[in-house]
Structure 1
């Protein structure tokens, strides 16, 4: 999901919301502000929550007996604009690749969130969207060859449990059919919504079909009720068909498999041209939209799509949408069965209100950059299309398609496009459990977004310090201090499925992203971080990593014991706090060098730079590694340059979030007194 920011990392501080103090999750007493850090605790080993097993290896990769279940779908839906009702039928083929026999299947019914008696309704107070009756289940039928058996499911809030007549054995497959319908909740945006526009309503349809819950090796069935947060889904292959009035256009996840039946000859030719073009080609132009808006009712059309190895699909339908596209320069993608290989496309669909040279006229340019840049730097984009939709403006991501705002423009449109499509990598490819560990999708994605801004068009939308969205320092290291010092914020490893704690953006977006930046720039360096991060993506593509897997893989590949960092940044809200405690000349003679005393007062001892400025204006820098503080909280740094000192300062570039900068600089030469044994460096 998006955040309203216009520069990487430091923009995110504008979204910080402070609420009432939450119940503590991890013991933080040892990290209270002002407490003297205990090196034995700071550097003790971390017991990670998910243990090593045959399914998850000690190096953070999938184990030798790793498995994942699969759910394949055949879906047919019909949209009725007069009633705002979606009617559907689906056939699910569920593959039990686990070592367990499954007596029940769990299915998610997200639309039940909109019921007046849903858990979400009680948690959220007065609804922003009118209540509905939720999804109405018609029939659930088990299929065994030619035999069928109708069952009565147990519906509990946003979940449906199907009890099987016989447990589904390891290696077996269960096929079942579901009929259902529901009324769309209105103009909420992103998650099945109806939004008005000049030339007709825009239907953004997501979470629209009963979806299998995940059965994994960590918890078995992970069937948390849906309360409007994020998702956790298995992978599979999808065939889906959408029947709409003939004047409507439909664009959805995956490949359109029947263009000859739904597009005009001219539109088919334009689509073929777009597959060869580096710049956008209008496929459905203003004349097409105006003709559709004034066309009399003339029956219906069915648009058919196919998508392989995806965890979800979504689509948009409307008579009001312009459509442009350009080719994506990516490695060849294997076509769906029965389809010829075609160049992948970056696309944008939006109403006429969104047109403009700094508005949606540039959307496909942003789509193209996002997909190509992330494919080159991290992992190849796997699907035949990448689509940006200009609609209500919820800022919401689904595989191959994202729902953004028709009013977005300038830097905001670039950022929202990059962020939502960036979710392709986290969690659409790397299938982490964003319901429980939101930082593994929002934070990881925000981190790669920040790098993308530096790359696009020579930094056109790179970080700037104009305070457009909120006053800030322009330095992430200083902006994050507010979060580290405020007790309202729970640690990143606290459960992310309970809303309303005041940290929706501060923690999973900002702190999580900045943690990766610290790891990359201050602790490991890009030469070690980047290959390890690529390995993490490749190793867990289309699988379900936990935070423990990420921690182990980064340590193993980078060759570092990072227990102190995981504990401080993820399991607690510890922070760095250094002080420059004094300087003295060796034997009171500048020619023999100067000793600088540095104190550690924080429980997160990040590497810190000491800079000394000499009387002649030159400077000397030393980086104090984290290990300095393993034996105590004071150290002496010897600089034998043999010059008089003008001043000294810690962290001159504000590269780390020191929570008290008032004691980081000094100009005084004094006699030093050490609490422990002096150390020369």
Structure 2
């Protein structure tokens, strides 16, 4: 034992001396680019394979909503009952709710953090909720204690709510004035035949309590959107009898609110791939468009397993619809409501056609559309999405109308089905949706419209912009001019890059579709997406997530040298950027034949230069890096080598 120990010490000493002698020749490696960059280990709630864990939980909230529209004062008044279930492993002393109409007040945090010159998220400041009769009833008693802070309400319980199934019934009456300018998400639009009301964020709703941060109570400021629990909704909307009301969910009382002729047309639309009028342009504003001409009517809707509902009402609506074929024998109804100002063959008369095509494509390609209705509403809103309902600008036409319609209905998959946190991670809904919009646009009507996402190269000007920000920048922090890139275009370009260049369509599609199916109606975090894509695709992509999604560096690959070597060729490529990438090379020979060379990303682990031995008996005339022009390489001047 002593002999072994002595010899071991001598060996270690010699090794140390040798290492010190040659230490100056050791080059630094790039391992830091390939290491994991965040805490991505699994636990009982979220596994390392990117799936919900054996003890995954999420709370739920079922809503009974009653609202009345007063078109004289432009106000909504109503009451709400929320049946909230605490499925978490801990007791809850209070419940947090969002009061997002409080954004429309002079002293809201959102108003006070809006630039003086204004932006897309400027809004009215004379609104806000009026709340009465607030109560929270559990099996032990009732409490009305609550604290309102800006767009949040903390509702205290009489005793802590039981873990793993405790229930509370929350009630209150609410009232608010519908803003004209609703931060480009809702509001009022005056047209010749009346007012169009687009209603969203219109009721107090429960904030998400999850296993990651507990209560998600980030204030509603502007760019940050929503994070909602799932549940069932029962909605009754009372409006003037001459108004048409559309809402997320399925109409429960068509005989009470539709004329016999409208019911007949509705039935025709349910069976027709062509658009069918329910209210024709020439019928708008006339008695034939309504069951009765005065008084009020109550429209009743229900929707299951949804995170939100939105609605619209107007006496100015043209209304049309067509059947959606969703696959596996399931059908639905695409609908559009719009004023005469939006009518036209190149305008909103194609809205239902666009809606139908969009929803059908995503349903068949990614995950079956879960709702019966998909309703496009012409409003003053540039474009905003809710489950089963989209608000798009009433003046949109042609390619622009297709683009906004396709984008907003694509959101039914992200974040309506896959329920990510939009307020913190907009790239998980806006970016993912922009990505799938690319393929939907390519498929629509044999390529009638051009996809502006056809290559990630198009965002290079932004990637070289000195004031650029990273994808991980929170939406309310990002500069307004950067938000389109941090939330939409750069993450979409990254997914296209991952599908078309890094993994290939087959591996990517299997992983991406599995992610959607796995996290449908649940709350994934960024790490859940990263882990799931890696485990299904079978690829360690830490270098990509770190470089593209959580960094501000760039891709800059190039060919530094091509030279003969022992009857063959040595091709040297260099990485002058901060993000490593696999290398695709196209070699063109003197006889005009071509050869493709694929080098894995691991060539960059030990340094920024790599030499590849090309075995050939032919004469090389040209070598092109990234021949399909997919990489958003910030310097293309070194991407081609030509024989002199």
Q: TM-score, normalised by structure 1?
A: 0.86
Return 442-451 or 293-302, whichever deviates more.
Answer: 293-302
- What residue is the counterpart of 2:31 in the other structure? 40
- What residue is the counterpart of 2:440 in the other structure? 452
Asked if the contact 2:143/2:156 (under 8 Å) is kept, the reply is: no
Asked if the contact 1:350/1:406 (under 8 Å) is kept, the reply is: yes
In 2: Cα distance, 1:577 partner to 1:236 partner: 47
Indicate yes or no: 2:208 matched with 1:214. Answer: yes
In 1: Cα distance, 2:494 partner to 2:623 partner: 27
Distance of aligned partners of 1:294 and 1:348 in 2 relative to their CA distance in 1, 3 Å threshold: closer
In 2: Cα distance, 1:620 partner to 1:191 partner: 52
In 2: Cα distance, 1:343 partner to 1:613 partner: 51
Match of 1:282 among 274, 277, 286: 277
Asked if the contact 1:518/1:656 (under 8 Å) is kept, the reply is: yes
Indicate yes or no: 2:322 matched with 1:326. Answer: yes
Indicate yes or no: 2:175 matched with 1:181. Answer: yes
Per-residue deviation, 1:454: 1.1
**1:563-642 alignment to 2 at 5 Å?**
563-587=542-566, 592-642=567-617
- What residue is the counterpart of 2:10 in the other structure? none
- What residue is the counterpart of 2:59 in the other structure? 69
Indicate yes or no: 2:181 matched with 1:193. Answer: no
- What residue is the counterpart of 2:632 in the other structure? 657
Deviations 1:515-536 (A, max 9, x none): 1111111111111110111110
Per-residue deviation, 1:53: 1.2
Distance of aligned partners of 1:478 and 1:294 in 2 relative to their CA distance in 1, 3 Å threshold: closer
- What residue is the counterpart of 2:154 in the other structure? 161
- What residue is the counterpart of 1:539 in the other structure? 518
Question: Which of 1 and 2 has higher RCO (CA within 8 Å, sep 6+)?
Answer: 1
- What residue is the counterpart of 1:136 in the other structure? 130
In 1: Cα distance, 2:623 partner to 2:503 partner: 25
- What residue is the counterpart of 1:416 in the other structure? 404
In 2: Cα distance, 1:477 partner to 1:541 partner: 28
Asked if the contact 2:279/2:289 (under 8 Å) is kept, the reply is: no
Distance of aligned partners of 1:188 and 1:208 in 2 relative to their CA distance in 1, 3 Å threshold: closer
Return 454-463 or 315-324, whichever deviates more.
Answer: 454-463
In 2: Cα distance, 1:514 partner to 1:221 partner: 32
Asked if the contact 2:124/2:181 (under 8 Å) is kept, the reply is: no
- What residue is the counterpart of 1:8 in the other structure? none
List runs of 5+ in structure 2 lacking aligned partners.
Answer: 1-26
Per-residue deviation, 1:449: 0.5
In 2: Cα distance, 1:457 partner to 1:304 partner: 36
- What residue is the counterpart of 1:300 in the other structure? 296
Asked if the contact 2:67/2:77 (under 8 Å) is kept, the reply is: yes
Indicate yes or no: 2:51 matched with 1:56. Answer: no
The 3-state SS of whatever aligns with 1:661 is: coil
Per-residue deviation, 1:384: 1.2
Distance of aligned partners of 1:271 and 1:189 in 2 relative to their CA distance in 1, 3 Å threshold: farther
Deviations 1:159-199 (A, max 9, x none): 01101110111111000211110111114475331101121
Indicate yes or no: 2:472 matched with 1:493. Answer: yes
Per-residue deviation, 1:37: 8.9
**1:320-399 alignment to 2 at 5 Å?**
320-331=316-327, 343-399=331-387
Indicate yes or no: 2:234 matched with 1:239. Answer: yes
In 2: Cα distance, 1:345 partner to 1:629 partner: 52
- What residue is the counterpart of 1:311 in the other structure? 307
- What residue is the counterpart of 1:647 in the other structure? 622
Alignment RMSD: 2.1
In 2: Cα distance, 1:192 partner to 1:88 partner: 18
Asked if the contact 2:326/2:360 (under 8 Å) is kept, the reply is: yes
Per-residue deviation, 1:332: 7.2
- What residue is the counterpart of 1:3 in the other structure? none
Alignment size in residue pairs: 611
In 1: Cα distance, 2:127 partner to 2:267 partner: 43
Asked if the contact 2:348/2:397 (under 8 Å) is kept, the reply is: yes
Distance of aligned partners of 1:169 and 1:188 in 2 relative to their CA distance in 1, 3 Å threshold: closer
In 2: Cα distance, 1:561 partner to 1:406 partner: 46
The 3-state SS of whatever aligns with 1:358 is: coil
- What residue is the counterpart of 1:96 in the other structure? 86
In 1: Cα distance, 2:241 partner to 2:348 partner: 25
In 2: Cα distance, 1:129 partner to 1:520 partner: 39
Asked if the contact 1:190/1:204 (under 8 Å) is kept, the reply is: no
Deviations 1:539-597 (A, max 9, x none): 1111000000000000000111111111111111222212211221124xxxx222222
- What residue is the counterpart of 1:549 in the other structure? 528
Deviations 1:421-447 (A, max 9, x none): 000000000000011011000000000
Deviations 1:120-164 (A, max 9, x none): 11111346433114111112022347x974514200000011011
Per-residue deviation, 1:92: 0.6
In 1: Cα distance, 2:188 partner to 2:260 partner: 29
Return 125-134 or 305-314, whichever deviates more.
Answer: 125-134
Indicate yes or no: 2:394 matched with 1:400. Answer: no
- What residue is the counterpart of 2:15 in the other structure? none
Deviations 1:176-233 (A, max 9, x none): 2111101111144753311011211100011100011000000111011101220000
Match of 1:120 among 82, 90, 110: 110
The 3-state SS of whatever aligns with 2:265 is: helix
Per-residue deviation, 1:610: 1.7
Asked if the contact 2:324/2:360 (under 8 Å) is kept, the reply is: yes
Return 618-627 or 277-286, whichever deviates more.
Answer: 618-627
Asked if the contact 2:97/2:154 (under 8 Å) is kept, the reply is: yes
The 3-state SS of whatever aligns with 1:344 is: strand
In 2: Cα distance, 1:191 partner to 1:505 partner: 16
Asked if the contact 1:111/1:135 (under 8 Å) is kept, the reply is: yes
Per-residue deviation, 1:638: 2.4
Asked if the contact 2:358/2:409 (under 8 Å) is kept, the reply is: yes
In 1: Cα distance, 2:511 partner to 2:454 partner: 26
Return 185-194 or 243-252, whichever deviates more.
Answer: 185-194
Distance of aligned partners of 1:227 and 1:189 in 2 relative to their CA distance in 1, 3 Å threshold: closer
The 3-state SS of whatever aligns with 1:302 is: strand
Asked if the contact 1:313/1:398 (under 8 Å) is kept, the reply is: yes
Distance of aligned partners of 1:92 and 1:194 in 2 relative to their CA distance in 1, 3 Å threshold: same
In 2: Cα distance, 1:112 partner to 1:442 partner: 25
Per-residue deviation, 1:499: 4.8
